[in-house]
Structure 1
Amino acid sequence: MKVLVPLFAARWRGLALALLLAATTLAAGVALLGVSGWFLTGAAITTAAASFNLFGPSSMVRGFSFLRIASRYGERITGHATTLAILSDLRVWLFGRLIPLVPFKGQDERTGDFVSRLTGDVETLDLVFLQVIAPLATALFAALGLGLFLWFVMPTAMPVALVGLGVSAIGAPLLLALSGRRSGAAVIRAMSDMRIAALDGVDGQADLVALGAVPLSRQAFGAAAADVRVARLKQARGVALGAGAAQFGAGLTVIGVLWTGLQAIETGDIGGPLMVGALLAVMAAFEVTGPILRGAGRIGQSMAAARRMQAISGAEPAIRDPARPIALPPGGVLELEGVRFGYSAARPVLAGINLRLGEGERIALVGGSGSGKSTLLGLLLRLSDVDAGSIRLAGLDIRDIRLVDLRSRIALLSQDAPVFIGTVRDNLLIGDPAADDATLHAALRRARLDDFVRGLPEGLDSWLGESGATLSAGQARRLCLARTLLAPAEILLLDEPTAGLDRDTEAAFLADLVTATAGRAVILATHAALPDGAVDRVYRFEAGRLAPG
C-alpha cells in the first residue's frame, strides 16, 4: 500500500472531510436509535397520571434524523469524489511508470498485462478508502463514543459492548482478510489472464479466422473466465462466512448488554427506558461492521493489486538518462561507428555498422525481414543501447544526451504508427501540442492530405473513430506522416511507411515523400521499389552489415 500513501497525502483535505462526515453519520444514527428507544419505551410505560415531555425527545429524533441524512449524503459525495480523484492520480502515475518500461529488447511483460495493471488493478484499489480505511476509522470513533456513553449510563455493559464491537468490527474482518489473501491474489491473476486472452483474440482476430483457430482462442478465453468465476466464488464464500460471524458476534453482544441491563434495573442503577435506549444504541453502533467486512473480503485482492503497483514503482527502465547529461549542440549530423547489437549474445543482429547521415541527406535501408532495419532505427532513438560501438549526434555520444533532447532532434514514423481515437486535430497535436490551425493545415498539405481534411464536414474537428476507422489505409498513413512532420525533429526515421498499402498508393506516397520531408535528413527503411530521386544513397543489409545498394 506504499503506492497509495503519497496519493492519499495529496488529497488529505477531501479524505478528512469524508471521515468527519462518516463519523457524524454513525454518531447521528446511534443517537437516533438510542433516543427513539428511550422515547418510545418511556412513553409506553408512562401512566395517565404521570407526565412525560414528548416535545424534547421528538425534536431530538427529527434533528438526528435530518443530520444523519445530510451527513450520509455529504459523506458519499465527498468520499466517492475524492476516491475517484485518487484513482485518476494513480492512473497517471502508473502510465508514466509503464511507458519507460516498454523495452526495445528483453520484453518480459505482455501488453495485455500492462492494460490489466492500468485498468483492473487500479479499479480494485477503489475500496481501500471507502470500505477499509474510512469504516475502520469510524469504528474506532464509534468504540470511543459508545464507551464514554456507557461509562456514564450503564458502566457494567461497557466491557461487553466494547469487546463485542472489537471482535465483530476488527477481529472477524482481520481473520477474513488473512484468509482471503490467497483468493484475492488468485482473482487478480485470473482477471489479468482473462484480459490478456481477450486482447490477444481481438488483436489477432484476422489471423485466427484465416487459420481456423477461433475455437482455440475461444477455448482459452473460456478457461480464463472459468478461473475468474472459481476465484470469485471462493472469495464470496469467505465474505459470506465473515458476515455471518460478525452478525453472530453482534447478537451475542446485544444479549450480553441486555443481561447486564436487566441486572442494573433490578438494582435500581438505571431505568427501563434508558436501558432500552442504551441497548438500541449498541445495536446501531454495529452498523459499521457491514462495510468493513465487505472491504475485508476483498482486501487480499487489493493487496495483490497494490503489490503489482509496487513492483512497477521499483522497476528500473532499461534506458535511463545519463547521470550528468551534456547539452546537445546545434547540428544534425548522425554518425554510427562499429555498432553491434543482438537480442542474445549468440545471435547478433548488427555486426559492425558504419554510417554517416549529413544534414538534409536522405538514405534508404533495404533488406529482408529480420535483417536489422527496424532494430537500427530503434537504436538511433535509444530504445536500447548498443552492445559495442557508438552512435553520435552532433558529435556527442547519444548515451551522454538526455532522452528528451535526443528525441526532439530525431522523430520516428513506424510501420504500425496508430491513428488514435479522436479527431484529426487530436491526432496532429501529438506532434506539436502548440500548433495552430495554419500549421496543422501546412503539415497536412505536405503530406498531401489537406484537401481531404478540408472536405470533411467538421474539417480538423472531424471524428476519425477507433484506429482511424473512417480513413483508408493510405489516408491513415499520410495522417501519421503529417503528425511526424509537425515534430521539430531535424532527422526523420521512416520504418516501412508503406507497409500494407497497395502498389499505386505506395508509389504515390513515396513520390510525395521528397517534397514532404524537404529540409530534413531522412533514413527510410523499406522493402518498396523507390522512385528515382527519392533518396541520395541506398544501403543493403547483408549479414548484419551495410553494403552500398
Structure 2
Amino acid sequence: MRFWWQLAGPWLKAHWRLSLFALLLALSTVFAGVGLLAVSGWFLTGAFLAGTTLTFNLFAPSALVRGLSMWRIASRYAERVVGHRVTLDLQAEIRTRSFAHLATLTPAQLAQYRDGDLVARLIHDIERLDTFFLLIIAPAFTALIAGGVFSLLMGMALPLMGWVLLVVLLLAAAVLPYLLARRTAKAGLEAQKTHADLRALAHDAIAAHTDILVFGMSGQAQAQFEQIGLRLAQAQKRVANAGSWGTLLQQLLMGIFVLVLLWLGAEAHAQAELAAPIWVGLLLGAMGLFEVIGPIMRGASSLGAVQGAAQRLRDLAPAPIAPTDAAAVPLPQTGSLVLDQVTVAYDKTPVLQSVQLSLEQGQRIAIRGVSGTGKTTLLMALMRVQPLRSGRITYGGVDVAQVPLAQLYERFALLSQHSPVFMGTIRHNLLLAQPNADDARLWQVLAQVRLAEHVKALGGLDAWVGEGGNTLSTGQIRRLSLARVLLSKASVWLLDEPTAGLDRLTAQAWLKDLHRVAAERTVIIVTHADLPAGVVDQNYVLRDRQLFLDENTTN
C-alpha cells in the first residue's frame, strides 16, 4: 500500500503516539473479550463439575468475570473514540493537503480533470481510505499480538493445541486475506474509478441540464448514466462475491479448528493431561479470538478500492513549486511593469513567444486579439498562475517570480472572465478585497459600477446573494466582481473582458469613469469591445503568439 502510506504516513508519523494509543486500546479490548470468555468457560465448567461439594472457589472467578466485563466495556468505548478520532483526523489532514495541492495547480493542469472527478477525489476517495486503518491495520495488529499471546498460553497447557491455533490464525488472518485482496484488486480499482466517473457524469449533467433538455439529449444522458452504473454494479458484485467466498473459507477454517480442538482436548482430558475447566476456557477463549479476524476479511475485499483511491489522489498533476518566503524579496508598492522575452506554453505547445512589454506606473493599455491567441494566458502569467517557460516579468525592477505570492496579490488585482460570487452577503463578497473597508467605501464602489440602486432594493449590504450569486443576474454578478477589484488597494489592475455581461450604456459609462477610479494604477484591459476614446493610452494586438503595438488605434 505504497500510495496509501505516501498520503497517510506523514500524519501518522507526526501523531504516532495517538495512533499507537488507538492500536493499544484495540488490543486491550481483544484481551478483555478473550479473557472474559476464557474465564467464564473455566468458571461455569468448574462450578458445574463441583456440584454441591462446595470445593470450588466461586469468589475469584466471579470477581474476574465482573472485572473483565467492566474492562471490556470501558476499553471498547475508548477504542471507538480514539480510533475514530485517528481516522477522522487523518481524513481531514489528507483532504486539506489534497485541496491545498489542487489550489496550486495551473489552469492547464486543472483542465485535465472533470469538475465532478475532482469532487469525487476530495470526498469519496478520501472517505474510502479510512477502511485501511479500521479494517486492516487495527485488526491485523490485534490479531497478531493477541493471537501470539493466546497461542503461547494454550501451548503451555497443551503444546499441540498452541501450534494448531497459531497455524489457523496465520491462515485466517494473513494468508486468506492476502489471497482475497489479490483476487479483488482489479475489481476494486474498477469500482473506485467507475464510481468517480458516475459522480463526474452526474455533476456534468446537472451543470448542463438546460442544454441537455434544449437539444433533446436526455435519452443519451440517461443511457450513458445507466451504462456506467451497470459497470459499477458489476465491479461491486465481483468484490462482494469474492468477499463472501473468503468469509466462507475463513468460517470453515475456524469450524475445523474448533472440531480439532475438541478432539485434542477430549484426548488430553481422558489421559488426565488437561483439566476440563481449563479445556473449556481455552476453547471459548480461542473462539472469542476469532472475532478479531472477521473485519480483516472485509478490509481485504475492499483493499483494491483503497489502493485505487490512494492512487487517484497521488495521480494529481504536480504543482509548480513557488518560492518560499525565506528566499523571497519584497515587491515595491509602485513601479514599471516589464515583460522581457516572456514565453508561455501548454505542455509543449507555445502560446506566447518572446513577448515584450514595458509599462510605466499609471499607464493604461488595451490588448485585443481573436479568441485563443493567448490574451487570458498573458494575464495568468502576470499573476503567476501560469508558469513561464522562459523570460521574466519584473515590477519596480524586481522579478515577480521571487516575491511571496501574498504580496504579489496585494499589488496585482485580477478580474477574470469567470470571477466568482461566493455564497454570503454583498458585504461579505466585497470585504474579500479590503477587509477593513467601511460602509461608505463599499457603497462608493457599488455606485462606480452602477450597482448601488439594485443593492438597496435587495436590502442593503447585508442582502443574501446565494450560492454562485443566484439572486443576481449575469451582468450584476460581473459588476459585483468588478466592484471587488475597485475596492482593492492593488497598484496594477488586470481586467479580462471587464464589461462582459453589462449593457452598452453601463459599459460605456464605466469605461469613461475608468480614468478617475483607476487614478495612478497601471491598467491592462483584455477585451473584444470597442473602447471610447481616452480610456487607454495605447492599444496592442496579440497575434502569432506575440504582442504588437496597434499604431492605428493609439489614443
TM-score normalised to structure 2 length: 0.88
CA distance in 2: counterparts of 1:152 and 1:102, whole angstroms: 65
Partner residue of 1:470?
471
CA distance in 1: counterparts of 2:474 and 2:227, whole angstroms: 36
Partner residue of 2:230?
226
The one-letter code sitting in structure 1 at the alignment partner of 2:335 is: G
CA distance in 1: counterparts of 2:521 and 2:394, whole angstroms: 18
Partner residue of 1:442?
441
- After superposition, the Cα gap between the structure-2 partners of 1:145 and 1:504, relative to the gap in structure 1 and judged at 3 Å, is farther
Partner residue of 1:310?
314
Does 1:500 pair with 2:504?
Answer: no
CA deviation profile, 1:147-175 (whole Å, cap 9, x unmatched) = 23213333331111111112111111111
Partner residue of 2:527?
526
Q: CA deviation at 1:406?
A: 3.7
CA distance in 2: counterparts of 1:129 and 1:254, whole angstroms: 29
Partner residue of 2:93?
89
Q: Which of 125, 148, 151 does residue 155 from structure 2 map onto?
A: 151
- After superposition, the Cα gap between the structure-2 partners of 1:13 and 1:421, relative to the gap in structure 1 and judged at 3 Å, is farther
Does 1:114 pair with 2:101?
Answer: no
Q: CA deviation at 1:55?
A: 3.4
Does 1:333 pair with 2:354?
Answer: no
- Tell me whether 379-388 or 142-151 shows the greater mean CA deviation: 379-388
Partner residue of 2:539?
538
- After superposition, the Cα gap between the structure-2 partners of 1:36 and 1:505, relative to the gap in structure 1 and judged at 3 Å, is farther
Does 1:362 pair with 2:364?
Answer: yes
Q: CA deviation at 1:276?
A: 0.9
Unmatched 5+ stretches in structure 1: none
Q: Is the Cα contact below 8 Å between 1:443 and 1:483 reproduced in 2?
A: no
Partner residue of 2:298?
294
CA deviation profile, 1:175-223 (whole Å, cap 9, x unmatched) = 1112222112112211222222122223333333333333323322222
Q: Is the Cα contact below 8 Å between 2:184 and 2:304 reproduced in 1?
A: yes
Secondary structure class of the residue paired with 1:355: strand
Partner residue of 2:193?
189
Secondary structure class of the residue paired with 1:2: helix
Give matches, 1:453-468, under 5 Å: 459-460=461-462, 463-468=464-469
CA distance in 2: counterparts of 1:409 and 1:459, whole angstroms: 26
CA distance in 1: counterparts of 2:189 and 2:115, whole angstroms: 20
Q: CA deviation at 1:68?
A: 1.3
Q: Is the Cα contact below 8 Å between 1:332 and 1:393 reproduced in 2?
A: yes
Q: Give the superposed CA RMSD.
A: 3.0
Secondary structure class of the residue paired with 2:104: helix
Q: Is the Cα contact below 8 Å between 2:140 and 2:296 reproduced in 1?
A: yes
- Tell me whether 467-476 or 171-180 shows the greater mean CA deviation: 467-476
Q: CA deviation at 1:331?
A: 2.9
Of all paired residues, the percent bearing the same amino acid is 40
- After superposition, the Cα gap between the structure-2 partners of 1:283 and 1:369, relative to the gap in structure 1 and judged at 3 Å, is same
Q: Which of 68, 75, 78 does residue 79 from structure 2 map onto?
A: 75
Partner residue of 2:53?
49
Secondary structure class of the residue paired with 2:539: strand
Secondary structure class of the residue paired with 2:302: helix
Unmatched 5+ stretches in structure 2: none
Q: Is the Cα contact below 8 Å between 1:360 and 1:522 reproduced in 2?
A: yes
CA distance in 2: counterparts of 1:505 and 1:153, whole angstroms: 93
Q: CA deviation at 1:79?
A: 0.8
CA distance in 2: counterparts of 1:230 and 1:441, whole angstroms: 62
CA distance in 2: counterparts of 1:138 and 1:106, whole angstroms: 42
The one-letter code sitting in structure 1 at the alignment partner of 2:490 is: A
CA distance in 2: counterparts of 1:527 and 1:267, whole angstroms: 100
CA distance in 2: counterparts of 1:351 and 1:33, whole angstroms: 77
The one-letter code sitting in structure 2 at the alignment partner of 1:355 is: L
The one-letter code sitting in structure 1 at the alignment partner of 2:257 is: T
Q: CA deviation at 1:96?
A: 2.0
Q: CA deviation at 1:517?
A: 3.3
CA distance in 2: counterparts of 1:497 and 1:219, whole angstroms: 41
CA distance in 1: counterparts of 2:42 and 2:426, whole angstroms: 69
Partner residue of 1:382?
384
- After superposition, the Cα gap between the structure-2 partners of 1:14 and 1:340, relative to the gap in structure 1 and judged at 3 Å, is closer
Q: Is the Cα contact below 8 Å between 1:338 and 1:388 reproduced in 2?
A: yes
CA distance in 2: counterparts of 1:157 and 1:340, whole angstroms: 75
CA distance in 2: counterparts of 1:176 and 1:344, whole angstroms: 41
- After superposition, the Cα gap between the structure-2 partners of 1:441 and 1:190, relative to the gap in structure 1 and judged at 3 Å, is farther
